Amino acid sequence: MKIQENDKKLLIYLVSLFILSIFSIAIYGMYVFYMMLTAIGVAFVIEFAFAKIRKKKMNIANWFVTPLLFVLFLPAKAPIWLVIYGTAFAVLFGKAVFGGDDNYVFNPAMVGLLFVTVSFPQQMTNQWYHTVNGLVGADNSANILYNGGTVNIIQQLMGESAGTIGEVFRLLIILLGLFMIAFKAIDWKVPTFFIGSYFLFSMFGKFAGLNVLDPVQSIFVGTVLLAAFFVAPDEPTIAKYPLGRVLYGVGLGFFTFIIRNFSSFSDGIIFVIVIMNAIAPLIDKIEEPKVSLEEGELA
C-alpha cells in the first residue's frame, strides 16, 4: 500500500513537471525542447548503466525528474554541451553514487546546477537569458536591490518577464503547487513555511532599516516559487518529522533572505537548497524517537 501511495505521489508530481515543461517550451521556443530531450537522453544512459551494474530494475518514472528539473533552472539559451555536462554530473554524483532513487542526500538537480554555476559562470550569466517582450537578462532580485528597480507582479505571474526556463510563468507554478498539495504529492508545510518565513524575514529587515528586497516583490522574482514547490519538498532530502519540516521550511526562508540580500548571488536558491539538505539530518534529531536501552521500547 505504501508503494502504491508513493507511486501516486510521483505520478502527480511528474504530471505537474510535464505541464510546466510544456508551457516553458511554449514561452521560450523549441530550443528548450531540444535541451530537455538532451538532458533526458543523458540521464537515461547513466540510469540504465547503473541499473545494469547493480542488477536492479530501472524506475522509468523517476528517470524524468532530475533532467527536467535541471533544465527548468537553466537560462533559455544555455549551450547544449552545458546541458550534457550538468545533467551527467547531477545524475552521476547527485543520485547514482548514493544508490539511486530515494537514497540521495542532496537534490540531484541542484547538485548539477551547483556544478555548472561554479564551473561555467560565464555561460550561466545573463548573456544566455532569453529575451521576452523586450526584457533582456534575468528579472531577478539584483534588479530590485542594486538597480533600484521594481517589478510588475502581474507580468511576473503571467510569464511576461525574462528569467530561467521554468521560473517565468509563476501563476502556473502556484496553481501546480496547490494541485500537488491538494493531492498530497508534496508536504504543504515545506513550501508554506519557506515562502512565509522568507516574507517575514524580509519584512522585519525593512522595519529594521536594512537595505533589503521588498517583501512582496522578492517572492515573485527569481526561482523562489519554482524551488518552493518543485525542489524544496523533495522527500529524500527534507526533514522526516512534522515539526522538523516546519523548521526546514523556516531555514530555507532564512538562508534565502541572507544570501539574496547580503551576498554576491542575486538569487542563491541553489545554495539555499544544498545547505538545508545538509542540515536536514540534524533537524531530525529534534524529533527522532528515543529508544530506552533498559526497556527496549520507544521512550
pLDDT band, residue 244 (cuts 50/70/90): very high
Q: Is the pLDDT of residue 189 over 80?
A: yes
Question: What percent of the chain is predicted at pLDDT more than 70?
Answer: 87
**Sequence-distant contacts of 131-135: CB under 8 A, at least 24 apart:** 131/162, 132/27, 132/159, 132/160, 132/161, 132/162, 132/168, 133/160, 133/161, 135/161, 135/162
How far is Cα 230 from Cα 27, in angstroms, rounded to an integer?
Answer: 19
In a domain, 292, yes or no: no
Is residue 132 helix, strand or coil?
strand
How far is Cα 88 from Cα 255, in angstroms, rounded to an integer?
Answer: 28
Mean pLDDT, rounded, for 218-241: 94
In a domain, 152, yes or no: yes
Question: Which pLDDT belongs to residue 134?
Answer: 46
Question: Which pLDDT belongs to residue 3?
Answer: 53
Question: Which pLDDT belongs to residue 1?
Answer: 41
In a domain, 173, yes or no: yes
Question: What percent of the chain is predicted at pLDDT more than 90?
Answer: 58
- Closest CA relative to residue 180, chosen from 18, 12, 10, 14: 12
**For residue range 85-143, what is the model confidence (pLDDT) as tens digits?**
999 999 999 998 888 777 899 999 999 999 999 998 887 865 555 454 444 444 455 55
- Closest CA relative to residue 222, chosen from 260, 250, 174: 260
In a domain, 31, yes or no: yes
In a domain, 295, yes or no: no
pLDDT band, residue 144 (cuts 50/70/90): low
Total tally of structural domains belonging to the chain = 1
- What's the domain range around 25? 2-128+139-285
**For residue range 15-29, what is the model confidence (pLDDT) as tens digits?**
999 999 999 999 989
In a domain, 70, yes or no: yes
In a domain, 291, yes or no: no
